[in-house]
A and B are shown apart, each in its own frame.
Chain A
Amino acid sequence: MSVLGFLAGRYLVGLGRRTHVATVSAISFGAMALGAAALVVTLALLEGFQATIRAQLAEAGVHAVLRPTSGRTLPGGDWLAKLRARHPELEVRASSGGAVWCLGGDAAVPAELEAVDGLSRVEVNRVLAAQLGVGAGSELTIASPKLVLTPLGPLPMRRRVAVAAVSAMRPGDDRAVVLVPTRIGAALLDLGAPNTVELRARDVTQAWRVASVVQAELPKGVEVVSFAELNRPLLAALTLERAMIGFGVALVMAVAALNLLCNLALLAAEKRADVALLAAIGLPAARIRRLFVALGLGVGALGGVLGTLVGGVGAWLLDRTRALPLPRGVFIVSHVPFRVTPGAVATVLAVSLAAALLASLAPARAAARRNVLEGLRYE
């Protein structure tokens, strides 16, 4: 061990002697540990909530959408059948359709009809429900541009249906949409090739991978919209939230680092005579600077590591023991979720190391620059 390690170690630990240095460094150590722990717990909390939200998104929504790169309909051929056959782990819902009028309540509005295979009931989306003033249980009439000859002359083909549900909106879609079973759709419109295909993994944890899994098997003219792209605004908001809150809590680390800086400066002033003595017996200025940086890093980095450890284990325990319950029915989870990720741990360690280093540099330089004789001359 070099003499710097020896000196720094003694100043920090104090060897059972209650040195002022040891006390002061204990305070700074605690501050850094607290800052690191706060940061880890906050990041774990954010990650916990956000993971819950992402899981909820995957649970409720579509995992990928296939759509034509141009035009209204997807190219024909047997690629869709092949896709179905090759990926039994995916639910594939092709929908085709066109423009219709919907009449219900006291209004008639243009809407997009989507005939969805596998769908057994009629659903309207929120926009249409609001425009028509209908909801689950109401009835509505769909009128298509297809004409039928009646005793009264040619009239649009009409079909009266019962609305079974109001479906969730696809993010970014503000059209009025009515979803119907293929049987009804075919009666109202000449259904050609599908215009969109929605994909869902039966195992919702695979939501993020669906787009990349099918990507290679799609013919020209079909593009895939991934889960991330489908939910871009929300996911971007979550990322921003994490960055901003993380930054805010990282300010705690800055305060801890300032405390460390003050204590190191104090230490340098108090140990002035000792530092001068060391310089006088041949410790070069550069090594005096390194001694103080070592002291700062010893306090700050070790405090950061300890805080990260305590915070990480604490967050993990809080999650495992479900120690913080949430009111039932208000949140989608029953307890406050924490999730400690390696990335968050690495970030906190890096931040505390950098903070400790920055806090040490100025006092270390000041200590190394001080005139030797001034430290030695007076008692």
Chain B
Amino acid sequence: MSDALVIARGVRKGYGSGERRVEVLRDLDLEVARGEMLAVAGPSGVGKSTLLHLLGLLDRPDGGELLLFGSDVAALSVEERARWRNRRIGFVFQFHALLPEFTLEENVAMPLLIAGQPRRSALATAAEQIAAVGLGHRRTHFPDELSGGEQQRGSVARALVAAPELLLADEPTGNLDAANAEALFETFEELHLSRGLTSVIVTHNEALAGRCGRTLRLTGADVEVGCSRT
């Protein structure tokens, strides 16, 4: 057994049934090594988000084998899946970044609060993480007082706050200008070096994808998934 953090063997995933059945992922094989930074690219609707949802334990594969942190995810109980999502995996969602009734700081602290940390220390940790994504001056603002890019950076801060082993980001730079996107990637790279973070990042930005160690290109047309090393 390799020390890969993510191992997918022949993973299949589709939606709907009968005539409306869509096969999105067909026999996907993938390994992501510990500490690796993998970019996922491909046209819209090809199944990038679907893949991330499988890796993030938000959905279950229809077939094949998926191992995370060395364990078969099929064997996990619902509670364990929730606990892993809370502590071992950080997820940056494509939509719905933040909860509107809570300040940025409270949003970022939420995974820690769910894990049962006392409010004070959770908020302190959240404040540090917010500063790390360059939003220190926005801590006590509500999401509707933040720009789209700021919200997105906030949701990155939330994904990272519990110091997860695996970061899954679904187009985290979609709303960011070049300079901010650049800064965000620098944050990711730093975490790779300092913490040995493993990440899978869906991005349309070729320049940024190029900075990842490897790019997974989903083409949809062929069953085999194109994989290019840069």
Contacts and interface: CB of A to CB of B under 8 A. Distances in A.
B113 A277 contact: no
Interface stretch (B39-47, B92-100, B186-194, B198-206): B92-100
A277 B99 contact: yes
A376 B96 contact: yes
B53 A373 contact: yes
Contacts of A6: 113, 119
A281 B101 contact: no
Given A373-B53, A373-B58, A373-B59, A280 B93 contact: yes
A20 B61 CA distance: 37
Nearest to A22: B101
Nearest to A15: B101
B93 A283 contact: no
Given A10-B102, A11-B101, A280 B115 contact: no
Nearest to A371: B59
A281 B85 contact: yes
Interface in B49-88: 49, 53, 56, 58-59, 78-79, 82-87
Interface in A14-30: 14-15, 17, 19, 21
Given A1-B119, A15-B101, A17-B101, A278 B114 contact: yes
A284 interface: yes
Contacts, number: 75
A21 B101 contact: yes
Contact of A17 (B53, B59, B111, B142): B142
A89 interface: no
Interface residues of A, number: 30
A136 B78 CA distance: 88
Contacts of A376: 58, 93, 95-96
Nearest to B155: A277
B99 A274 contact: yes
A284 B116 CA distance: 13
A19 B114 contact: no
Given A3-B113, A6-B113, A17-B101, A282 B87 contact: yes
A375 B195 CA distance: 32
A245 to B, nearest CB: 42
Given A11-B101, A278-B114, A281-B158, A273 B96 contact: yes
A331 interface: no
Contact of A282 (B82, B101, B142): B82
A269 interface: no
Given A10-B102, A21-B101, A282 B95 contact: no
A358 interface: no
Interface in A354-379: 372-373, 375-379
